[in-house]
């Protein structure tokens, strides 16, 4: 029989395994090898029609923001409330695979390709529209960016990670501009960020749900702060491991660090 695929939340994978489900590494989906297992899985899980990479997001505007390289800072109420965090790992794997495939395996901004030796990969980045009137942050597009362009887009995070020089050089090369122009651009991006920070934003991920992907969790406002804290700690720990001193940072320190996110 044909493989029947099921949507198995990450936390339930042991249940699926015990029922006899097998994991398909290619599509990153669980499937039933026979009818008996399929019947067991149907009791707990939804059958997945198509485990192939997701390339179509109904309602997505693939022109949104153009294909230029710009600094795009996420308001603090939305830190780490990214798509990857909100959907199942299986779905994220299918989605990011689809985003890379439809871009022809190259960066949609600088046309760069994977160069593992230089640490350059292709990554999926969310582009948002901020609807001032309704106070909604609407996911408009998922763009395929190389690591260099992606880091530049998240300029504040790059600063925290000590990558400012690299991303500045990349921005000037891609946009063929000088330092003064870059500084004006960054200042403007931070002004916009400050304005957006003065309020909380609701999330609209309908292009994701339109594609039949289920949102597995919403991150409460207070949790976002803790997640951001944990992520920063992890970064610091990597840096500190080189000098063998791991410095604890407080949540208040973290707020200062993330002022420029
Ligand atoms: Zn690029
Ligand atoms: Zn991103």
Annotated domain spans of the chain: 4-48, 76-222
Q: For residues 55 and 102, is the Cβ–Cβ distance under 8 A?
A: yes
**pTM of the shown model:** 0.69
Q: Which backbone phi and psi does 128 adopt, to 5 degrees?
A: -115, 150
Q: Average of pLDDT values for 161-188? A: 96
Tell how strand 136-146 and strand 202-204 pair up. parallel
Distance (Å) from CA 10 to ligand 2 centroid:
23
> What does the pLDDT look like over 69-128, one tens digit per residue?
999 988 766 655 578 878 887 788 889 889 999 999 999 999 999 998 999 999 999 999
Query: Is 22's pLDDT higher than 60?
Result: yes
Distance (Å) from CA 241 to ligand 2 centroid:
26
Compute the distance between CA of residue 64 and CA of residue 141 in angstroms, rounded to an integer.
Answer: 6
Distances (CA, A) of 123 to 41, 71, 92, 171, 228: 32, 16, 11, 17, 20
Distance (Å) from CA 64 to ligand 2 centroid:
15
Which residues have their alpha-adjacent CB atom under 5 A from ion ligand 2? 125
Which ligand sits closest to the CA of 144? 1
Distance (Å) from CA 113 to ligand 1 centroid:
8
Q: Return the higher-pLDDT residue of 229 and 173.
A: 173
Which ligand sits closest to the CA of 84? 2
């Amino acid at each position: 029989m044909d493989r029947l695929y099921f949507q198995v939340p990450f936390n339930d994978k042991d249940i699926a395994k015990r029922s006899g489900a097998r994991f398909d590494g290619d599509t990153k989906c669980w499937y039933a090898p026979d009818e008996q297992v399929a019947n067991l899985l149907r009791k707990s899980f939804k059958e997945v029609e198509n485990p192939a990479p997701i390339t179509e997001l109904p309602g997505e505007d693939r022109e949104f923001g153009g294909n230029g390289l710009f600094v795009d800072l996420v308001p603090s109420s939305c830190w780490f409330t990214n798509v990857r965090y909100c959907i199942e790992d299986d779905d994220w794997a299918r989605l990011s695979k689809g985003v890379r495939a439809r871009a022809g395996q190259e960066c949609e901004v600088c046309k760069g390709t994977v160069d593992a030796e230089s640490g350059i990969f292709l990554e999926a980045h969310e582009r948002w529209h901020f609807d001032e009137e309704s106070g909604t942050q609407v996911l408009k597009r998922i763009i395929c960016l190389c690591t260099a362009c992606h880091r530049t887009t998240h300029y504040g995070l790059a600063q925290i990670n000590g990558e400012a020089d690299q991303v500045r050089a990349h921005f000037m090369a891609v946009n063929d501009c000088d330092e003064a122009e870059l500084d004006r651009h960054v200042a403007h991006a931070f002004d916009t960020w400050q304005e957006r920070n003065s309020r909380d934003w609701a999330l609209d991920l309908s292009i994701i749900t339109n594609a039949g992907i289920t949102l597995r969790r919403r991150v409460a406002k207070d949790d976002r702060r803790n997640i951001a804290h944990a992520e920063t700690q992890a970064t610091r720990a990597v840096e500190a491991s080189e000098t063998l001193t791991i410095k604890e940072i407080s949540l208040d320190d973290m707020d200062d660090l993330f002022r420029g996110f």
